Amino acid sequence: MVTMSHSSAESPIFMGFVVVLLNKKRILIVVTQLGPIGPPWLIFLVSLGPFKKVEPWNQRVIKNSATGYELRVASADGNISKTDEIAYNQTEMYEERFYTFTPLDYSSFLSKLANLLHLASSKVRGDLKEIIILHQHFLNSGSVKAHKSASAKWIKESNVVEFYLGFLDTSKDPAGQRGLFQSIAGVINREKTARLDKFLLNINDTTRVLPWPTKFKVLSPVKSTMRAIDVVAMTPPVPTALSLPSCK
């Protein structure tokens, strides 16, 4: 589409519009302008609808028809707030497919666990109490956002008692997306943690003698966030080592 207008100096300005459909959700509009006023071109990105960035750690996908899919979210009650990332029982279309998020998958088990966390939260205080409450919200609502908030606090806190749970291990899923449920409760082993801290403080000396090219070696100060935990209880069985949290 090409139009012509006139500036105040009566100089003609020719404008061209190029519309590019990127996908079913976005349109790219490029405006070219030939004249003495304004920039030579402008670009506008128009969104036709909200993008969803939903992480499927705690979900199962059920194909109901040729174009219809149900995404079942593990949750005890499904009471998710507007600030969270998904809306339940609303069907949306994406790339000619219909998707519906439904709550209450594994609700019988998760409701019992959420109730136990509620009891535990009354026995502690400080950071650990906040972590337990966020985990409880995650189990009740299915909000991965709540679980990430709990993970962020868990990394920073330094309680003697350690607690963490969630759909953590994605290695069992061929697509590497859905997580295996795991939970852990333990006590910090300060002696072993001190040895790990000492090892990390000298990690550059160790890295220098490793048998691979220098370009693959990272020599920089390392701040330790490692903690050695004596596990009191864990499901599934305790591995030799575990790196948590799984989220970035």
- Computed over every residue of the chain, the mean pLDDT equals 76
**81-126: per-residue pLDDT in tens?**
655 667 888 888 877 888 899 999 999 999 999 999 999 999 988 8
Looking at residue 89, its pLDDT comes to 87
Residue 172 CA to residue 178 CA, distance in Å, equals: 8
Residues 63-87, mean pLDDT to the nearest whole number: 84
**27 in Cβ contact with 46 (< 8 Å):** yes
Residue 208 has pLDDT above 60, yes or no: yes
Q: What is the 3-state secondary structure (H, E, C) of the chain?
A: CEEEEECCCCCEEEEEEEEEECCCCEEEEEEEEECCCCCCEEEEEEECCCCCCCCCCCEEEEECCCCEEEEEEECCCCCCCCCCCCCCCCEEEECCEEEEEEEEECHHHHHHHHHHHHHHHCCCCCHHHHHHHHHHHHHHHCCHHHHHHHHHHHHHCCCCEEEEEEEEECCCCCCCCCCEEEEEEEEECHHHHHHHHHHHHCHHHHHHCCCCCHHHCCCCCCCCCCCCEEEEEEECCCCCCCCCCCCC
What is the percent of the chain with per-residue pLDDT over 70, rounded to a whole number? 71
Residues 134-143, mean pLDDT to the nearest whole number: 94
Q: Whole-prediction pTM value?
A: 0.69
Packing angle between helix 144-156 and helix 127-141, nearest 10 degrees? 160
Residue 179 has pLDDT above 50, yes or no: yes
Looking at residue 79, its pLDDT comes to 84
Residue 76 tokens, joined: 């005890």
**10-51: per-residue pLDDT in tens?**
444 444 444 444 444 444 444 444 444 444 444 433 333 444
Cβ-Cβ contacts under 8 Å for 67 (sequence gap 6 or more): 96, 97, 98
Looking at residue 242, its pLDDT comes to 64
Residue 135 has pLDDT above 70, yes or no: yes
> Which of the four pLDDT bands, split at 50, 70 and 90, describes residue 239?
low
Please name each of the domains of the chain with its CATH number: 107-191+223-235 (3.30.540.30)
Looking at residue 216, its pLDDT comes to 83
**156-176: per-residue pLDDT in tens?**
877 888 889 999 888 888 888
Residues 134-142, mean pLDDT to the nearest whole number: 94
